[in-house]
């Protein structure tokens, strides 16, 4: 039988098996366009998740406050002054100490942090070197996932808080920073025992200490006559912002303000003097504007813990007096526990 030679299909020999340069560039362009379209959506999903996690942290703090009230009757103080002789401005006056422990310290047992609470020597200043173990403990509940400078141990210049501070003592220690702060009052006021008043609280200051978690040690639920759901007790304070703030002789205020255990404005306490994220509108690097106000890295506003334990996202556009109006704005009304104001929930 005679075999015929096989015939090769010429078109099959010339068929291309790879992209041309133009086709490859087109494909890359299409992938780039799709990535550009999807990236904002992905970032939005991530931010939504971070904001939700931040809100959950505030809910946990609110739950801890509620349990603390069950056992002590009174709200925790936002700050207490130390009686540790090393931190007294006048060694002969017991009430001349610097602001010391934050409200977060006494909440530790109610946040499943009993071991951290026990690691603190409560007879000494929370700022002292004896507390280094507690200073370096990271507590996830105290850090917003959107803020990159909180939640882990880093340099902190705690020696600057000593009345005997000298620039030659300016050596860093280690501490973990927090994003959550108590609302002290509508404007800054010192309502703890004053040496000038014989170690008593000045009556005018006590009257204007109208926040729920502030200097006063005797604020009860019954004292919140505006209603728990109409009164904010804590909010966010973004510590990353302080990196751009300068106050002589320091170039980075984020290394000074914000440890979770320290109770003072800029640490774990703020006032409603200015509305949330006021620094964005003020366009200034004045440290006070940040220290005295709530702030957040969430676009458009900040999470706020209310007295009833609920958490709300308050827009930075909320009506606020910002020291320009005689009458309080909505933001200032939310800060008072006993102002007698009526607030429409839709106003914020």
pLDDT tens string, the chain, 348 residues long: the values are 555 555 445 555 455 566 677 767 777 777 777 767 666 655 666 888 999 999 999 999 999 999 999 999 999 999 999 999 999 999 999 999 999 999 999 999 999 999 999 999 999 999 999 999 999 999 999 999 999 999 999 999 898 888 888 877 788 899 999 999 999 999 999 999 999 999 999 999 999 999 999 999 999 999 999 999 999 999 999 998 887 776 666 667 778 889 999 999 999 999 999 999 988 777 655 677 888 899 999 999 999 999 999 999 999 999 998 877 677 899 999 999 999 887 877 777
Res 58: pLDDT:
98
Contact 230, 343 (CB under 8 A): yes
Joined together, the tokens standing for residue 44 give 């939005």
- What is the C-alpha end-to-end distance of the chain, expressed in Å? 96
Output the CA angle 220-225-230, nearest 5 degrees.
Answer: 105
Q: What is the pLDDT of residue 16?
A: 54
Q: Angle 126-76-108 (CA atoms, 0-180°, nearest 5)? A: 60
**CB contact at 8 A, 203 and 316:** no
- What is the distance between the alpha carbons of residues 266 and 153, in angstroms, rounded to a whole number? 18
Of 263, 216, 266, which Cα lies nearest the Cα of 100? 263
Specify whether the CB–CB gap between 329 and 338 falls below 8 A.
no
**pTM of the entire predicted model:** 0.85
Q: Residue 342's pLDDT is what?
A: 76
């Amino acid at each position: 039988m005679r075999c015929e030679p096989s015939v090769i299909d010429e078109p099959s020999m010339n068929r291309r098996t790879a992209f041309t340069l133009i086709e490859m560039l087109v494909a890359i362009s299409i992938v780039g366009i799709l990535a550009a379209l999807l990236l904002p959506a992905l970032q939005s999903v991530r931010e939504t998740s971070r904001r939700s996690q931040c809100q959950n942290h505030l809910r946990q703090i609110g739950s801890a406050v509620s349990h603390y009230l069950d056992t002590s009757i009174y709200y925790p103080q936002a700050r207490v002054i130390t009686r540790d002789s090393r931190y007294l401005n006048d060694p002969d006056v017991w009430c001349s100490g610097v602001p010391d422990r934050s409200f977060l310290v006494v909440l530790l047992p109610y946040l499943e942090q009993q071991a951290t609470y026990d690691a603190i020597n409560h007879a000494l200043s929370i700022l002292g070197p004896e507390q280094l173990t507690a200073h370096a403990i990271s507590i996830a509940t105290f850090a917003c996932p959107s803020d990159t400078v909180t939640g882990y141990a880093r340099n902190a210049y705690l020696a600057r808080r000593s009345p005997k501070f000298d620039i030659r003592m300016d050596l860093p220690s280690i501490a973990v920073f927090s994003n959550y702060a108590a609302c002290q009052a509508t404007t800054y006021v010192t309502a703890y025992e004053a040496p000038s008043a014989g170690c008593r609280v000045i009556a005018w200051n006590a009257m204007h200490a109208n926040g729920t978690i502030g200097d006063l040690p005797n604020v009860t639920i019954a004292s919140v006559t505006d209603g728990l759901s109409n009164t904010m007790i804590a909010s966010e304070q973004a510590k990353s912002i302080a990196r751009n703030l300068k106050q002589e002789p320091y170039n980075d205020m984020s290394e000074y303000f914000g440890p979770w255990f320290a109770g003072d404005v800029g640490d774990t306490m703020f006032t409603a003097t200015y509305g949330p994220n006021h620094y964005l509108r003020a366009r200034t690097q004045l440290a006070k504007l940040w220290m005295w106000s709530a702030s957040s890295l969430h676009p458009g506003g900040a999470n706020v813990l209310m007295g009833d334990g609920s958490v709300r996202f308050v827009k930075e556009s909320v009506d606020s007096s910002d020291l320009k109006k005689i009458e309080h704005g909505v933001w200032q009304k939310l800060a008072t526990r006993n102002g007698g104001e009526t607030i429409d929930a839709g106003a914020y």
